Amino acid sequence: MAFPTLPTSIDEIQDRSWAAFEPGFEELLQRPIDKDNYRQWLRDWSDLQRVVSEVWTTTYIDTSLDTKDEEKEAAYKTFVTEVFPEITRADQALKEKLLAIDPQDEDLHLIMRQMRNEAELFREENIPLQTELQQLDNEYDKITGGLKVEWDGEEKNLAQILPYLEDKDRTVREKAWRAYMGEWQTVREELNTLFMKMLALRRQMAQNAGFSNFRDYQFRAMNRFDYAPADCEVFHQAIEKVVVPAAQGILADLRAFLGVEALHPWDWIPEKGLMVEGSDQPPLKPYASEDELVNRGIDIFNQVDPELGRYFVDMAESDLLDLETRSGKAMGGYCAPLMLRRKTFIFMNGVGNHDTVQTLLHEAGHAFHAYEAQQPLVWQEEVPMEFCEVASMAMELLAVPFLTRDQGGFYSEAEAARAVLAHLQKTILFLPYMAAVDGFQHWVYTAKGELTTADLDGKWMELEQRYLSGVNWRGLEEERMSGWHRKLHIFQNPFYYVEYGMASIGALQVWRNSKRRSQQEALSAYRYGLSLGGTRTLPQLFEAAGAEFRFDPDFLSDLLAFVGEQIQDLKQTIVSSMN
């Protein structure tokens, strides 16, 4: 049996059934390998994985672009229920075959570590559970993507309401917030039921694999070799000690600006990273159309680095940008690597505000990482998520010098200062929210006995009070306690959230290098870190990019002092522009 000729383009793939992939897996399984010929076998397997990955990714993209398209949903479900289980079994057989040889090549050390871990965790009985969980993930997208608000006689999805949540008029913000939250409350029971199904399935998966709880299982499944749950708890405590007081200071300044005794939830919305600006200036409106967003993005990235600019142009010319919100589109934003084409796709829900610009910079950072990290073998491009988020978050900051119109960006100098000030303040405010989300999941997945949704609501309230105090929720307890519903990671990506906190600390260090050394030196280290793909450990990737993988109170205190200096400089720039 000869290894089949693989497609070189997604357009060549008409058949997405298991029958289309099975011959490739079967040939690899039957082909004899030894210490002399396994490298070619491994390259062939890698090439096959690129095809499978792109088919899966494009199938998912299709469903998120239009959650109402029944044909696309059916294709997604077919892949999840009929193809994915067979690929999982075939991958396990191939891993076992390679592990039997146990190659000691230095460039394969991390690949073998990961495969060994995944092979040890594999359980046949978990395949149908994983399949069901993937279907439930899609159900969350359908439920939330279908939420709509009647606003001034027009039907708007929840993303389209976001600009009103930042309106300078407090009555408008309150009206928008109540409408927004009212829609979430209509699906509260649906989401409760959905999550409890997910919780039961995840607990069963952990038990099947010999773990006492899902948290410990998931840390292994996520290949977290460089830190443990206890390290997350240290991070939480450092945030509580160092960052929460800084966040409370920001909220106190906002209270003073608004002239109120207490903030209300429409003044600060942590799950969306929204806080009303403490300024009398009109809201930032950086662009008027998707074309303008793309073109100014090209100009900014060309200024950051011409090669990165070319990557972004390539995505634009390849029709791999879907940036504006619309009815039926899934919520959120993501960057999806296309492993066969070696390109990337960016999905967003832009609404014309600065958060849209920030999201574009963020997702472009992910895209640049995918372009820069290309390696001979597909597994060498699997980067720890903690460092993937450094790539995206650092790009938000490395682009700061080019946000002004004279550099190709969107703003005047004063407007750019306002945008960056808001970004830094939101970064500080985000870290306590991250600790609440991560702490919630640590508790949920290690709790003994049966849990009820009332237990989950109560725990969220406890963590919200610990990390996110400073807002008056009187009379809005139902909305407050169900805050965990509004973070999709809790439903779809359990334990994928602390990465954002760790990456924030890494990204701030990269930015500090650009300020204390030079933009070019910081960018060079950043790009070098991206270019390593998954060929180094997580601490080594941080180090390559010019950062330390540290999250203790002393380290956070020093970093926040730097951020505080930058905030004061930005405030002075804004004041000077008004005189």
Report pLDDT digits (tens) over 389-404.
999 999 999 999 999 9
Looking at the fold, whether 25 and 93 belong to one and the same domain comes out as yes
Amino acid code (one letter) for 34: D
- Average pLDDT over the chain reads 95
Last residue of a domain, one of 79, 104, 122: 122
Is residue 499 a part of any domain in this protein? yes
Is residue 422 a part of any domain in this protein? yes
Looking at the fold, whether 106 and 179 belong to one and the same domain comes out as no
Looking at the fold, whether 114 and 185 belong to one and the same domain comes out as no
For 351-368, how does the pLDDT look when each residue is reduced to its tens digit (9 = 90+)? 999 999 999 999 999 999
Looking at the fold, whether 17 and 89 belong to one and the same domain comes out as yes
Looking at the fold, whether 222 and 104 belong to one and the same domain comes out as no
Cβ atoms of 289 and 492 within 8 Å: the answer is no
Looking at the fold, whether 116 and 174 belong to one and the same domain comes out as no
Q: How much is the pLDDT for 159?
A: 86
According to DSSP, the residues that pair with 157 across neighbouring strands are 148
pLDDT band of 548, cuts 50, 70, 90: very high
Is residue 531 a part of any domain in this protein? no
pLDDT band of 214, cuts 50, 70, 90: very high
Phi, psi of 157 (to 5 degrees): -80, 175
Is residue 306 a part of any domain in this protein? no
According to DSSP, the residues that pair with 34 across neighbouring strands are none
Q: Is the pLDDT of residue 578 over 80?
A: no
Q: How much is the pLDDT for 10?
A: 82
Is residue 147 a part of any domain in this protein? no
Q: How much is the pLDDT for 576?
A: 86
**Which of 261, 282, 251 minimizes the C-alpha distance to 474?**
261
Q: How much is the pLDDT for 297?
A: 97
Looking at the fold, whether 179 and 227 belong to one and the same domain comes out as yes
CATH number at residue 250: 1.10.1370.30
Domain count, the chain: 2
Is residue 313 a part of any domain in this protein? no
pLDDT band of 575, cuts 50, 70, 90: confident
pLDDT band of 232, cuts 50, 70, 90: very high
Looking at the fold, whether 423 and 498 belong to one and the same domain comes out as yes
Rounded CA gap, 330 and 142, in Å?
7
Looking at the fold, whether 236 and 102 belong to one and the same domain comes out as no
**Which of 470, 434, 467 minimizes the C-alpha distance to 249?**
470
User: In the chain, what percentage of residues exceed pLDDT 70?
Assistant: 100
pTM: 0.93
Last residue of a domain, one of 106, 122, 138: 122
pLDDT band of 198, cuts 50, 70, 90: very high
According to DSSP, the residues that pair with 347 across neighbouring strands are 322, 334
Looking at the fold, whether 507 and 422 belong to one and the same domain comes out as yes
Looking at the fold, whether 499 and 576 belong to one and the same domain comes out as yes
pLDDT band of 579, cuts 50, 70, 90: low
Is residue 388 a part of any domain in this protein? no
Q: Is the pLDDT of residue 32 over 80?
A: yes
Looking at the fold, whether 178 and 52 belong to one and the same domain comes out as no
Position of tokens 């969350």?
Answer: 140
Q: Is the pLDDT of residue 538 over 90?
A: yes
The pLDDT of 481-495, averaged and rounded, is 95
Using CB atoms within 10 A of its CB, is residue 359 exposed (0-12), middle (13-18) or buried (19+)?
buried
Segments forming the whole domain that contains residue 200: 157-283+411-516+549-579
Last residue of a domain, one of 104, 122, 140: 122
Is residue 71 a part of any domain in this protein? yes
What is the number of residues in the chain?
579
